[in-house]
Amino acid sequence: MRIDRYLQLNTEYSLRQVRTLLLDGQVCIDDRVVRDPAREVSRFAKVVCDGIVLNDSRPCYLMLYKPGGVVSATEHPEHTTVIDLIPESYRQDLHIAGRLDLNTTGLLILTNDGHWSRRITQPESKVAKVYRVETAQPVVDEAEAVFQQGIYFRYENLTTLPAGLERISPRVSRLTLYEGRYHQVKRMFGYFANEVTALHRESVGGLVLDPGLEPGEHRHLTEEEIGLF
């Protein structure tokens, strides 16, 4: 958004008064005086007008080891949410970049940067999500080829994107998906009448769950990790 429009919306000044303040050097973005009314303001810029700080929010990028039984939501009337696991000092405006089911564990990403999170969650991005899957019955030999070909979901009238399946043991597999359909993993294994008994997300794109984290713990992403998306 242009700085003149931003100030008009976020102060009591008229557009004419805003432009006067700009010309007089009374507006700063990230501690630098701005006089150009067409200067763009980013979501996390520090904006000061006539000595008053209008915005000083900072981007926040977290990885959380989601435990089972915790809801991937910002609030819930019955269950603990993933936001409840984050300190109040920086939980404001956080949202989830790719939810996990109630009993699914593993890597969850939270941020207040919508532009960044859309690069992870938009279907066209096709970001790989890797899951460790435990099943009630041994995984059949033909599952790998079927998953790679895609499975038709009648309810949505679509065929899933090709998925990678690596069998670690008869009842433990590693599954790589490039989309996030409703209960997709359970439905894919359900195609073979095989119940998923445990599901754990290991990674999203190049971001791998920190092995030093315990369930319920979180940490901030590094600059390198943020740059993966």
With contact defined as beta carbons under 8 Å apart, do 71 and 81 qualify? yes
Question: Helices 3-10 and 15-23 meet at what angle, rounded to 10?
Answer: 120
- Reading the block at residue 208, the tokens are 């791998």
101 among known catalytic residues: yes
| 181: nearest Cα among 226, 135, 123 | 123
Per DSSP (E only), the strands in 10-128 are 27-29, 32-33, 47-49, 52-55, 61-66, 95-96, 105-111
Residue 69 DSSP SS3: coil
The total number of residues written for the chain in this structure: 229
CA distance 145 to 161: 13
Residue 217 dihedral angles phi and psi, to the nearest 5°: -90, 160
How many Cα atoms occupy the beta-carbon half-sphere of 45 within 13 Å?
A: 21
Q: Which of the residues 50, 84, 101, 210 is marked catalytic?
A: 101
Point out the residues that are catalytic.
Answer: 101
